[in-house]
Structure 1
Amino acid sequence: MAGHTDNAILIDAPLETVWELTNDVANWPSLFSEYASADILAREGDTVRFRLALHPDENGTVWSWVSERTADAASRTVRAHRVETGVFKYMSLFWEYTEVPGGVRMRWVQDFEMKPQAPIDDEAMTNRLNTNSAGQMALIKQKVEAAALAAAS
């Protein structure tokens, strides 16, 4: 069995603003509430390899991993995957930005499979990711819309 999530949100801001702010990986700790740090390890063309670290959990553990993502500005899509998979057998991500009436529809799709020894299974991780994605997208919407409003002033 594998896990799959598909979440989207409408952001009332210009496409270029949404694209630039959400693809600035080095700045993700100020955009996402879950990331304590984002360290850029390498860049090659439109591909960036980076290490993300979460804030410590209730046991004081800091979870981190290396991912690689390639942004395609022409199609306004991003494809990414975890290089260091941790508890996942694999984790692939797809982000899509579409101009629609009222702003930009930002969509995140995640496909993954948990390792047998992982503390939770595919279904539990799907639920966790769906909950987390909704919260992070709402926060990003708020921050990007505020930045767009400030830039227009």
Structure 2
Amino acid sequence: MPRIENSIVIGADPRLVFDVTNDIARWSEIFDEYSHAKVLSEERDGRWTEIVFELTNEEGAGWRSWRILDHRELVAVAERRDPLYPFAYMHLRWSYQEVPEGTLMTWIQDFELDDRFEVPLATVLERMNTHTRHNQAGIKQKIESGAVRP
């Protein structure tokens, strides 16, 4: 199972970073590649929030995802649902840990590529790592500058 894991330290409180990065309706402000983010359903039950949402990228491609937020542990787990292609599956785990400098934000993506996808795994891993690091650096800049707030 391929995995990518990337972390960044953000100079802000873990709760703030968690709230900003899991505000799906605002992902088009937070992430460069999403032109539209729409929450389809959201259910909160004390400690947990379950969200189903749809994302559209700048090329107009869209997909549906599921996410559950653990507000006590500051962890989000998610999966891409429909369409899955180019993946056979995509599971994500985002965690937020308090460190002296603020928040250590770690994103883990476990996945398998669809057998029909012809791009080599090494190329996909390189692209995903580059893309994730770019997103994390952008979020760090936006939060630390005060450009985005919960």
- Using the size of structure 1 for normalisation, the TM-score is 0.89
Matches of 1:24 and 1:4, distance apart in 2: 25
Do residues 55 (structure 1) and 58 (structure 2) align?
A: yes
Letter in 2 for 1:99: E
Q: Runs of 5+ in structure 1 lacking a partner?
A: 57-61
Matches of 2:6 and 2:98, distance apart in 1: 16
**Residues 79-111 of structure 1: CA deviation (Å, up to 9, x unaligned):** 000111121000000000000011100000000
Letter in 2 for 1:80: A
Calculate the aligned-residue CA RMSD, in Å: 1.5
Letter in 2 for 1:124: T
Maintained 8 Å contact 2:15/2:74: no
Q: Runs of 5+ in structure 2 lacking a partner?
A: none
Do residues 72 (structure 1) and 62 (structure 2) align?
A: no
Query: 1:88: which partner in 2?
Result: 87
Matches of 2:3 and 2:120, distance apart in 1: 12
What is the identity percentage for the equivalent residue pairs of Structure 1 and Structure 2? 35
What is the CA distance between 1:121 and its match in structure 2?
3.4
Matches of 2:19 and 2:40, distance apart in 1: 19
Residues matched between the structures, number: 144
Query: 1:144: which partner in 2?
Result: 143
Q: Which is richer in strand? A: 2
Letter in 1 for 2:120: D
